[in-house]
Each structure stands twice: as structure tokens, then as C-alpha cells.
Amino acid sequence: MTARPQGRPGPPPPGALPAGAGRSPPPSPSLAAEVRVARHEQIRELRRSRTVAAGLSLVAFWLVCVVVGPIIATKDPLATDALHALAPPSGAHWFGTDSLGRDTFARVMTGGRPLLVIAPTVAVLATALGTMLGLVCGYRRGMVDDVLSRCFEAFLALPVVIFASVTVVALGRSPEAIVVAVATPMIPVVARTVRAAVLSERHLEYIDVARARTESAAHIMFREILPNIGPVVVAEFMLRMTQSVVAVATLSFIGLGSQPPTPDWGRQIAEHYSLLGGGGVWAVLFPVLAIVSLVGGLSLILEGAMAVADRSS
């Protein structure tokens, strides 16, 4: 038998894979650079978007009012004046007065504080928890996905306002109870959307590369998948923010939000909508316009961001 020359590898045995065949190629530096460039371009597009700028202006206006509202409104929003009840707009009262003679302008300028504190908290909580659950369900699959998906479906059958109303009555009318009551039914909605986005990513090449590097499941979910589904998460946050504003204002309208005499847009509408034919139109009109402008601003931001994402894709 002739010996194989030393230093020269022989042919692989039958059925054996060539050296390095089972390894995944490392991620290309050029691909990572392209991703960074694409993200910077998206940010530039967002800054140039007139739709996003208009939405941010509306939201920023009401955020400023929350901070400096008491300074802008020179009159006390709690001071009553029965002699000037339901007065129309004038030099003394720019937005008129309500049924107790309180200055409507002062109450509108300060009445957005409960809404603009609770609604963002609800949106952040629902988006954060929903994103984590969606990542786990979409990546892990199996029994965990089955059990959580059934729970999500059960909560999706509950209208947000009805569930929140019952929960607030049970837990009390504190801001914390309102946050829990409104955020809870939103979490499954976010989780299902994120789960669907994860399912479309989990079989892509960059996930196989991360697994080949023996990265942990947490690393793959939060460092690999999450940045790539970022636009989905941002869109969900904006949607939940808009939904939270409407839900919290509705709770105030039915008497489950901020309690009198605290200025609150939803409660102002509830207190005067029955007086529309008797001079209460101004006390209703301006809180309604405030809510509509805030929701409209959030919708414009979402619309502009989605348009930029569509152009980038």
C-alpha cells in the first residue's frame, strides 16, 4: 500500500462535509455600513417632512401649555363669577366663561395636564410590555406562544373603554389606576403586531449568523431583531398614544377621570354639552378643539413617519 505523502491532506471520507461548510459567514461590514446610512437617511427625511413638522408643532404647543399654562392664563381657572356665567368670548375672557363663570381660556390652558401626563405613560407602558411579549412569542414559539396568544385573544374581545371603566371603578379613580386600566387591554394589541413582525424576521440570514455565533436568545431578540422591527414598534407607540388620549378623555367625560374642580378637557365637555342651546357652546367648543388638535398632531406624526418608511423601503 502506498502511503499518502506527508503534508498533503487526503480526500475527505465519503459523506463528510468540506472544512468550514457548516459555518455561517460573519456579517459583512459593508452591510452594517449600509444599514447605518439608511437609518441616517430616514432621520434626515423625517426632519424634512412637513407633515411630521406640523404634527410635532401641535403636540409641542400643548406640551408647552402643560408646563407654562398657569403663567399664560392670567386668571384663576378655579375662580367662579356667577354674574358672568356662560359669557361669550371677549377682551376680559378670551374663550368666554363656563356655567360657573370660570374663565374657559384658563381652564383649557391648564386642563390638558391630566391627559398629557397619563396618556404618554399608558402608551409607554403598553408598548414596552407588548413589545417584550411579542418578541418572546415570535421568537420562542411553542407552548409559550400558544398560551400567551390565547390570552391575547381573550383580551382583544374587550373594548378598551368598557374594560377601563370597570377597572377604574374597582381600583379607584387615581392616576395609577387609570394607567393600569387603559394600558392593560392595549398590551395584547401591541404584542400581536410585534409577534407578526418577529415571525417575518426570525428565519432571515442575520438571525442564522447570530445563532452560529452562539448568541443567547435575549441577545438575538433585543440586539438583533428589535432594531430591525423598530419602525413597527414606533408606529405602535404612536397609535397607542392616540388611542390613550381618546380613552383617557372618554373616562373623564363619563366621570371616571380627574375629579372637580380640577380643570380637565373631558370633564369640561361633559359639564356643558347639555347647555349647547343655552350659551354653553363656547365652554364645549374650545376643549373639543384642544382634544382634536392633539389627536390630529399625533396622527400627522404617524402619517409622516410611515410615509418616510415606505419611501425608504
Q: Give 213-267 pLDDT, tens digit per residue.
A: 888 889 999 988 998 888 889 889 999 999 999 999 999 999 998 888 889 999 9
Who has greater pLDDT, 11 or 286? 286
User: Is the pLDDT score of 108 beyond 50?
Assistant: yes
User: For the ranges 41-45, 105-109, 182-186, which has the lowest average pLDDT?
Assistant: 41-45
Q: What is the pTM of this model?
A: 0.83
More reliable by pLDDT, 173 or 26: 173
Cα–Cα dist 161/165, whole Å: 6
CA distance 180 to 277: 37
The confidence score (pLDDT) of residue 122 equals: 97
What pLDDT is attached to residue 251?
A: 95
pLDDT above 70: percentage of residues in the chain: 87
At the second CATH level, the architecture of 116-259 is Orthogonal Bundle (1.10)
Give the per-residue pLDDT at 7: 46
pLDDT digits (tens, 9 = 90+) for 159-184: 888 999 999 999 988 999 999 999 99
The mean of the pLDDT values for the chain is: 85
* Structure confidence at residue 29 (pLDDT): 53
DSSP string, the chain: -PPPPTTSPPPPPTTPPPTTTTPPPPPPHHHHHHHHHHHHHHHHHHHH-HHHHHHHHHHHHHHHHHHHHHHH--S-TT---GGGTTPPS-SS-TT-B-TT--BHHHHHHHHTHHHHHHHHHHHHHHHHHHHHHHHHHHHH-HHHHHHHHHHHHHHHTS-HHHHHHHHHHHH-SSHHHHHHHHHGGGHHHHHHHHHHHHHTTTTSHHHHHHHHTT--HHHIIIIIIHHHTHHHHHHHHHHHHHHHHHHHHHHHHTT-SSPTTS--HHHHHHHHGGGGGGTTHHHHHHHHHHHHHHHHHHHHHHHHHHHHHHHH-
Q: Where are the domains of the chain?
A: 62-77+93-112+263-313, 116-259
CA distance 113 to 263: 9
